[in-house]
Chain A
Amino acid sequence: MKILQLSGWLLLAEWRTRFGQIIVAITAIAMGVALGFSIHLINSAALNEFSAANKSLAGQSDLQVYNKQGFFDEMLYPKLAQYEGIKQANPVLEFTAVVSDKFHSKDHKLKILGIDVFRAASISPDLLGVPAEGKAMDSFADDTIFLSPAAMEWLQLEQDDTLFLNVGLEAIPLRVAGGLTRARAGQRIGVMDIGAAQWRFHYLGLLSRIELKLESNAQYEAFKDRLSKELDDNFYISEIADQEKRLSKMSRAYRVNLNMLALVALFTGSFLVFSTQVLSIIRRRSQLVFLRVMGFTRQQLLLQIITEGIVLGMIGAISGLAIGYGCAVLVIQLLDADLGSNFFYGLKPTIYFNLWDASLFFMIGLSVAVLGAFLAAKEIVNANQASALKSSHQDIAMNRAQWSWRALFCLSLGLLMTVLPPVFELPIFGYMAIALLLIGGIALMPWLALLVFSSLQNSVARLSKNPIILMALARQANASNQASIALSGVLASFGLIVAMAIMVLSFRESVDQWLDHVLPADLYISVADSGIQGGLRDDEQKIINQLPGFIRSDFFRVQPLTLDPNRPEITLIARPIDTLNPESTLPLTHDVIDPYQLPKDSMPLWVSEAMVDLYGFAVGKKVKIPIDGIWREFFVAGVWRDYGRQFGAVQMQLSDYQALSNDLSFNTAALWLDTQTAMSEAYTSLQQLPFSDALEIKQSQRIRKTSLDIFDRSFAVTYALEIVAIIIGLLGVAASFSAQALARAKEFGMLRHIGVTRKQILSMLAVEGFFMTTLGIILGFVLGWCISLILIFVVNPQSFHWTMELYMPWNWLMLISGIMLVSASFAALLAGRKTVSVDVIRSVREDW
């Protein structure tokens, strides 16, 4: 009881004296937890919503049959409908159509499901439209569509309004016959009769999937095996769970990376807790040792300090959870669940507070604080009581040699991990390397600080006789442990900022250059697909080719393709490519076969980097992809960089494609202006085409700008992280300086007695702050640069399957360094002012 009382009393007393620092440490923990938790909440809510939406589309079917080509012959439907063991077969035609009114905005696609209401009724009742009273036949009319509430809101349409959708070059009117009341919030879909959809949208004879309900006594696996043996290789049978896996896989790299970044922010916070705790212990050193002398056992003392950490961590973590939850709710309400990745576009999920996840983040926040306190407490607990009682002995007697060995071990282990392959397609080792680098770098601090400041002291002493500078340097050189502790926060946060800044800039520059390469023409026109055909046919191509003012036009055929049912679709691009000089059209990496050494007997295929990682399409290999339903062999002639399609893309000669598929249509054209024609003239002549309403005309400059805007938006979260890191870093500097200043009250008193003025002490503090921060910044820069290399060359290629060039954001880094430097010196000054104003006599007398 007495111990408890004492413990509480000690705790309160301590906190009362350094309230400001406690708040800072709590804030650091809270911000880290809040950031991590809100990102986690938003992402998991979005994922849940996505899979719920997916489930409501797939309904209550047991299995779904898909084709790798996307669409397949409808004659499979009657076969399956009468297949033994199948109770109900539900044919579905799913495609996206372009909303005519929205054609010129970026967001213009509506997902449409063509269903047979009679078959869907028992399998996916959520997709049944609700027609107006007395108009039941609208459910299978040839000119009607049912819209989900989100689609109605988006399109500003109501029942009986007309919706125009583009099909190739024409716009077809559909009457809005009613709503889909059971669609998920935010889910934008339209449902129409499957027969009408096949006809109006040129998908005659085609289906996207067949959903199956099995007889109640059916054995799933056995049935699946039996059926897949009968279907040809292009078909695959999946369950809802498979699709969820696929979706989760699609966005996993993105989600994990965001969570990792949030954790890094949290661990930066832990260094801050560590440094405040250490400094607080140093200041109270004699007090704590006195407790030991009075009969406190080691365990009791350790417990006392750890309790401080626990309380700190609990307050920080709980407020972090609250802030994180609030932020997540706010983000969902104000924006949407898409944190910039476009995976969860337009979803309006509900944030669910999951106790398990919350406790996980709580535990992370708490353990970070406890760890900080524990590391700080270890030394004092083991200290020699007699010598520790002497107050001048404040520098921690750490075994430097031992610490630097550990640091070096961490660093080399980290280095080793950068060469390890990804685990489950995630850069686990990459992140571990980053963590080890941070820990190792910080652990190496005391040794480095000693080295730097002692040599600096020696060299400066020869040049300058300024007592303030000399005093500041002497202090840093001889009490380098304290200095380095103050630095750990600066180091961690500045390192993080540098790493992020380098990574984002490198990425942005690479994307910028890539855009230059992939958008060589002046104008691009694209057109909505009509069924499985691209929208531009022969006649329209001729008309476009004959337009005046253009010197060159290239036509592309772009379409999705499933190679592996467990992975998202890849993109197939067929376009004219100069085989002898492919880099003129493709943003090739260095991984290319000499065009003159291409085998004559096979067709060349250029693949994106993701294809190499995901499908093993290495240069020089012969690979197979399906063209028009038949698997054809190609020769991988080169690898190109693709920041647009994370799941892979391949490009092939247009002539090869047309020869194999008989599909002579296109959906994209690139146009080059001749020198006499102004952009506006070209625009006008395109707009005067008879089918111009269905054309999306874009200047390449515009596309560029939009792409970079999208890029910036996707990195908005990263920017938020950087800001948090800066704030934590600055808080760290302020906290450690004020702690140090308090601890050095006696030293300042002594200095005053030997004739140093208050002003000089303050200047000395500012100079100390300057030196320390400068070192922190330099080291942080090196550390950050190393981390950025890991991000660029390990984490990015392993998570997103693209590489990039390294670019350094010098200006920005200079600016941040300047801000850090000034504010750190200022913080040191401010912290000192308070201490120096204490009565001189008293501060010395304290030293008994």
Chain B
Amino acid sequence: MRYLYNKRTILIVVLMIFCTAIVWAQQSETKRQYTSVTPNYTLTFPKDFGAHPDFRIEWWYVTGWLETNEQKTLGFQITFFRSATSHDQENPSQFAPKHLIIAHAAISDPSIGKIIYEEKSARAGFDLAYAKEGDTHVKLDNWYFVRNETGNYQTKISTERLSLQLSLNPTQEMMLQGKNGFSRKGPNIEQASYYYSQPHLKVTGTIKHQNKTLTVSGHAWLDHEWSSELLDARADGWDWVSMNLFDGSALVAFQIRGKDGTKLWAYAQQRNMNGKTRFFDTEQVDFMPVRTWQSPHTNAWYPVEMRIRTSELEWQLIPLFDDQELDSRSSTGAAYWEGAVSILKNQQIIGQGYLELTGYEKSLDL
């Protein structure tokens, strides 16, 4: 009982803060002036692998499919956020919470039938929690996400319930989203982020859960995105999908849904096995629900099975299992669906990906 109580309290704080980060976008008066995202910036690497503290919010977001040594399939998600606060920049205290580091980790295990989820947050400082500039290096106590010079990523999440220790190796070039990494998120030109992806990461490592240590291998997709202003006030939520296709091609698509049910913005990029890319704009991308599933936890309806149309192409998404909802209503009132999906074309499974559905339980003020 005491354990639960503690757990809940942590959740409350973490999610309070996560929401806060979200709410800031709407506040016209912030004490801090953040750098805004502009179309003519050229992403330079490895510098842009690292953190961008002048921007309000930033994340490194890995999703993927794994197979265990027991031939079981798992979905996983690891995210590290950096979020700047409005705390006075003049405060010389080492404790001054100018940046928060927040991490989420979840696995989707079909044999359990729901998500196992862990999270953690801290103020950046004392070398206990940080997001370093120069190259990807985010740390939160004993959790980390680090890129080395060879391009290999190491990440570790460790709690009593769930531990993940993974090594991610790129097998392809990275994908710059939008216009050379300038990715618009709405009709207003300011609503944008810098955004690059790393599809087809080869994953090896171990996962510890239910008192078992499993050796795993698989593939993953990494997004790194940073911005100071993200969503339109009219936005209700978004649908986002990443696909690692078996033939080596990759596709990412998202749409921003308006509160009135319309499509506010949409985007997709496809890269075939030869490295040729093709972009699709709002008009060309459609997310079409096929089957909805009602969550027994939140009663929200999610279109867990979708057809996605990019111009003349059509992709079908089938979830690994239905209940991949992340319910944190007890703390923030927010719940969303984030899960492993199989990609089908003409009734044939041609790849694996991850689908994120937000704003279904309640309109998301982001």
B87 with A195: CB separation less than 8 A: yes
Contacts of A125 in B (CB 8 A): 5-6, 9
For B176, the chain A residues whose CB sits under 8 A away are: none
- Among residues 181 to 222 in chain A, which have CB atoms less than 8 Å away from a CB atom of chain B? 193-196, 198-199, 204-205, 216
Contacts of B91 in A (CB 8 A): 142, 195-196, 199
B residues in contact with A194, CB < 8 Å: 93, 95
B183-217 contact mask (Cβ, 8 Å, vs A): 1 or 0: 00000000000000000000000000000000000
Docked pose: A125 CA to B23 CA in angstroms? 24
Segment touching B, from A133-141, A316-324, A367-375: A133-141
Tell whether, in the assembled complex, residue B13 and residue A81 are in contact, meaning their CB atoms are under 8 Å apart. Answer: no
Q: Which of B9, B13, B24, B128 contacts A82 (CB 8 A)?
A: B128
B43 at interface by CB-CB < 8 Å = no
A252 near B: Cβ within 8 Å? no
Segment among B14-22, B44-52, B225-233 that sits at the interface with chain A? B14-22
Does A141 lie within 8 Å of B87, measured CB to CB?
A: yes
Of the candidates A60, A74, A142, the one having the most CB atoms from chain B within 10 angstroms of its own CB is A142
Chain B nearest Cβ from A175, distance in angstroms: 13
Q: Is the pair A121, B87 in contact by a Cβ cutoff of 8 Å? A: no
B86 lies within 8 A of chain A by Cβ: yes
Shortest beta-carbon distance, A358 to chain B, in Å? 32
Q: Are A116 and B88 in contact (CB under 8 A)?
A: no
Least CB distance from B47 to A in Å reads 27
Are B95 and A195 in contact (CB-based, < 8 A)?
A: yes
| Interface size class, chain A | 20 to 34
Q: Is the CB of A204 within 8 A of B92?
A: yes
Kindly list chain A residues whose C-beta atoms are within 8 Å of the C-beta of B126. Answer: 74, 77-78, 81
What CA separation (Å) do A60 and B14 show in the bound complex? 19
Q: Given contacts A81-B128, A128-B13, is CB(A119)–CB(B122) below 8 Å?
A: yes
B310 within 8 Å of A by Cβ? no
- Complex-state Cα separation, A117 to B122, whole angstroms: 9
Interface string of B74-116 (1 = CB under 8 A from A): 0000000000011110011111110010000000000000000
Residue of B nearest to A88 (CB): B141
Interface string of A432-472 (1 = CB under 8 A from B): 00000000000000000000000000000000000000000
The CA of A216 and the CA of B160, in the complex, are separated in Å by 10
B350 within 8 A of A: no
Q: How far is the CA of A133 from the CA of B8 in the complex (A)?
A: 18
Contacts of A111-146 to chain B: CB distance below 8 A: 116-119, 121-122, 125, 128, 131, 134, 136-137, 139-143
B326 in the interface (beta carbon within 8 A): no
- Bound: A60/B6 CA distance, A: 10
Residue of A nearest to B160 (CB): A216
Number of residues from B at the complex interface, CB < 8 A: 34
- In the complex, the answer to whether A136 meets B88 with C-beta atoms within 8 Å is no
Near A by CB (< 8 A), chain B positions 1-49 give 2, 5-6, 9-10, 12-14, 16-17, 19-20, 23-24
Q: Cβ of A309 < 8 Å from any Cβ of B?
A: no
CB distance from A648 to the nearest CB of B (A): 33
CB neighbours (8 Å) of A143 from chain B are 88
- Say how far A401's CB is from chain B's closest CB, in angstroms: 70
Taking CB as reference atom, which chain B residue is nearest A198? B93
Across the interface, which residues of A come within 8 angstroms of B87, CB to CB? Answer: 140-142, 193, 195-196
Q: Which residue of A lies closest to B91 (CB)?
A: A199
CA of A116 to CA of B87, assembled, Å: 13
Q: Residue of B at shortest CB range from A138?
A: B20
A143 to B100, CA, bound (A): 18
**Do A91 and B141 have beta carbons less than 8 Å apart?**
no
Q: Indicate whether B312 reaches chain A with its CB closer than 8 angstroms.
A: no
Known contacts A122-B9, A122-B10, A128-B13: does B94 contact A205 (CB below 8 Å)?
A: yes
Given contacts A118-B121, A118-B123, A119-B122, contact A193 B10 (CB under 8 A): no
Among A78, A81, A199, A216, the residue within 8 A (CB) of B96 is: A199
- With beta carbons under 8 angstroms apart, the residue of A117, A141, A142, A196 that contacts B13 is A117
Known contacts A121-B9, A122-B6, A195-B87: does B93 contact A136 (CB below 8 Å)? no
**CB atoms of B13 and A118 under 8 A apart:** yes
A→B interface (CB under 8 Å): 60, 74, 77-78, 81-82, 91, 116-119, 121-122, 125, 128, 131, 134, 136-137, 139-143, 193-196, 198-199, 204-205, 216
A-B contact pairs, 18 of them (CB 8 A): A60-B2, A74-B94, A78-B128, A81-B126, A116-B123, A121-B9, A125-B5, A136-B16, A136-B23, A137-B17, A139-B17, A143-B88, A193-B95, A195-B91, A195-B93, A195-B97, A196-B87, A205-B94
For the A-B complex with A81-B141, A121-B6 known, give 13 more contacts whose Cβ atoms are closer than 8 Å: A78-B127, A81-B126, A119-B122, A121-B12, A122-B6, A122-B10, A125-B9, A137-B24, A139-B17, A193-B97, A194-B95, A195-B87, A196-B96
Chain B positions within 8 Å of A, measured between CB atoms, are: 2, 5-6, 9-10, 12-14, 16-17, 19-20, 23-24, 85-88, 91-97, 100, 121-123, 126-128, 141, 160
